[in-house]
Amino acid sequence: MRKIIFKYIHMKSFKLTALFLLSLGVTQAQTSDNPWLISAGFNVVGLQSDLTSGNNRLLLNDYKSMSFGVPSLSVFRSVYRGLSLGAQFSFNNLQNNGSGSDAEFLSIDAALKYGFARNGKVSPFLKAGIGRASIGRNDGSSFNSASNATDNYFGGAGLNFKLGDKFSAFVETSYRATQDSPKGNYIQHTAGLALGLGSGDADKDGISDKKDKCPDVFGLKEFEGCPDTDADGIPDNLDGCPEEAGLEENNGCPDTDGDGVLDKDDACEDVAGLVELNGCPDTDSDGIMDSEDKCPEEAGDLENKGCPWPDTDSDGVLDKDDACPQEAGILGGDGCPETPEKVLEELNKVGSSVLFPADGFKLMGKKTLDYLNDIKRILDENPEAQIVIEGHASTDGSEKFNQSLSLKRAEAVQAKLIDLGVDSSRLEVKSFGETMPFSAEDSAETRSKSRRVEFKAKN
């Protein structure tokens, strides 16, 4: 049986086939692009110890330290990242140093290989496996029977040299141990060329998975295998809005109104607006978007739905803050006059009875004093009230005389109230002469009523 096997191995056609595989020469490295790796080369075998089997033995000193042989063939398939699973075959003829017979060598192995930096120019790898080896003398003895095949364990390392997109060369060394028939250790060096095949293309878009940036989705060559669903010239993997055509400066997203806020973030995508208002306009610039502003063309307050607060009495204090919205007050206060209107009405009701002679300013008579005491009482009851005493005159006499006379009348009332105990800081005087008569009717009665004082709030 052994003779048949070895004669077959030495057949010319087999040698030509092996040499043809070797002549493929430039071959592709096994990378993630090429999961299948077919290699062809030569091997060199050297015994590391005597190989024994009962009374038969191959003595280390009888054979050359290294014997050259062809072919060495292998097929490997990448199974996960750098890990590959495969089978390999080697044939050699161990040359005898003397006149003894050569020994023929044959091995078939199953192996695991792990490659590092597989896509680099130089990729180291480790290899280990188990197989069957047959080593026998070529002299017709029982020792050379093919039935003497033995289990064969090995471990090794090598380097793969990338020669191009499809080709690589390799060298490796393995240390091997046979278990029986014969039993011993030997070393094997292998070198050759390899061809990588079977580039993966999971999505069938014509771009290998290694080069495909979107390996699970059918894509376009110009986008390295990625699709462009919205046809805006930006591949889906770089497109912030892959289903809506947009501009590159907007990361592939549309901005219909051109306000710098992308449609997907724009609450008013058809009307140009402000970034801080999510793309909505604010016509009156009050910080409230027009769609939520009840007065979009008039700046207002958020609490008043975008409308300005009214100031009915025009005192500068908004109605919402004005305790007296119908009555003008002092700016900076609560909107109410410091002297309420009802107090002024009461003062003037009493003060209307304080009259003066045509050319006089003195206060005379018990009734006049009683009236002034009533005015003092009203002021005491309203300690926050501060008033202006306005002096007036009739048209009797000259305008200049009446101006001076009206001031003296106001000062006379002021002096009397101070004398009665009213704080002088609460009182102020003004004169209006004959400019504000009691009535437009010119009669003795109306002229008499024009000789008066009036009380107003002090601003």
| Of 197, 220, 237, the domain-final residue | 197
Give domain status of residue 381, yes or no.
Answer: yes
Select from 87, 91, 78, 66 the least CA-distant residue to 10: 91
**pLDDT value at 304 more than 90:** no
Q: Is the pTM of the predicted complex or chain greater than 0.85?
A: no
Question: 243 and 236 in contact (C-beta within 8 Å)?
Answer: no
Q: Give the per-residue pLDDT at 122.
A: 94
Structural domain for 380, as ranges:
341-457
Integer-rounded Cα Rg, in Å, for the chain is 58
Residue that finishes a domain, picked among 197, 224, 244: 197
Is there a domain that residue 310 lies in?
A: no
Strand partners, 150: 133
Domain presence at residue 215:
no
Strands (E), 312-411: 387-391
The pLDDT, as a whole number, for residue 9 is 37
The whole-number pLDDT of residue 108 equals 95
Predicted local confidence at residue 391, as pLDDT: 94
Say if 85 falls within a structural domain: yes
Classify strands 427-431 and 387-391 as parallel, antiparallel or unpaired: parallel
Beta bridge partners of 226: 220
Burial of 125 (0-12, 13-18, 19+ CB in 10 A): buried
Two tokens, residue 29: 């490295």
Q: pLDDT digits over 396-446, tens only?
A: 889 999 999 999 999 999 999 999 999 998 899 999 999 999 888 888 888
| Residues pairing with 123 in the sheet | 160
Per-chain mean pLDDT for the chain? 83
Q: CA angle at residue 443 from 438 to 448, to 5 degrees?
A: 55
Residue 424: CATH number of its domain: 3.30.1330.60
pLDDT value at residue 441: 87
Residue 65 placed within a domain: yes
**What angle, rounded to 10 degrees, do the helices at 399-419 and 366-381 form?**
70
pLDDT in tens, 223-239: 989 999 999 999 999 88
Residue 95: pLDDT band (50, 70, 90) is very high
Quote the pLDDT of residue 331. 57
**What CA–CA distance (Å, rounded) separates 78 from 84?**
4
Distance, in Å, from the CA atom of 192 to the CA atom of 121, rounded to the nearest integer, reads 16
Helix (H, G, I), strand (E, B) or coil at 124: strand
- Give the CATH number for residue 152: 2.40.160.20
Domain boundary among 161, 179, 197: 197
pLDDT digits (tens, 9 = 90+) for 58-83: 788 989 999 999 999 999 998 887 89
Is residue 302 assigned to a domain? Answer: no
